[in-house]
């Protein structure tokens, strides 16, 4: 597993990181975003979707559980924050996570880890102050092309 660490990112630099990451995606990636509330998960998702060529209005799927966006790849954006049991949504997640022509981004993924592929990418966002973030990206061997 390769770890990429970035420190003291402001919003513009965080968006640049996400757009650069998007440019390297090949399709079939599952990205798990981890942070506290207000840490920047949806902000990072917006920049990834933009980096994949979409002008869609990206919003948090906290109440809808999943949003879909059309871009270079179909983007599935899941948010399990409000659920204690993913139920049938876990089945939908396991299906879309196997699609080679999509990218799946998941917030609050703890309750669905057992249905994630082994080679998912984990990005931890740590809020260092109101305007700065540190990022740690954990890449399995099969996804090291994203470093």
Q: Dump pLDDT digits (tens) for 113-123.
A: 999 999 999 99
3-state secondary structure of 22: helix
Where the chain has pLDDT below 70, the residues are: none
Token pair in block for residue 16: 């640049």
Task: Determine how β-strand 102-107 pairs with β-strand 2-9.
Answer: unpaired
Which are the contacts of 141, defined by CB distance < 8 A and separation ≥ 6?
Answer: 1, 2, 119
What pLDDT shows up at residue 106?
A: 96
Residues 97, 104 contacting (CB under 8 angstroms): yes
Q: Give me the domains of the chain, ranges plus CATH numbers.
A: 2-142 (3.40.50.300)
């Amino acid at each position: 597993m390769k770890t990429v660490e970035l420190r003291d990112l402001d919003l513009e630099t965080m968006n640049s990181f996400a757009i650069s990451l998007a440019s390297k995606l090949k399709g079939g990636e599952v990205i798990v975003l981890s942070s506290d509330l207000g840490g920047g998960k949806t902000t990072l998702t917006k920049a990834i979707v933009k980096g994949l060529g979409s002008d869609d209005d990206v919003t948090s799927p906290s109440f809808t559980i999943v949003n879909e966006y059309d871009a270079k790849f179909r983007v599935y954006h899941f948010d399990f924050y409000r659920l204690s049991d993913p139920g049938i949504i876990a089945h939908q997640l396991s299906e879309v996570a196997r699609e080679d022509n999509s990218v799946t981004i998941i917030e609050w993924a703890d309750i669905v880890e057992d249905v994630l592929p082994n080679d998912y990418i984990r990005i931890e966002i740590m809020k260092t102050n109101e305007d700065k973030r540190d990022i740690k990206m954990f890449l399995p061997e099969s996804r090291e092309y994203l470093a």
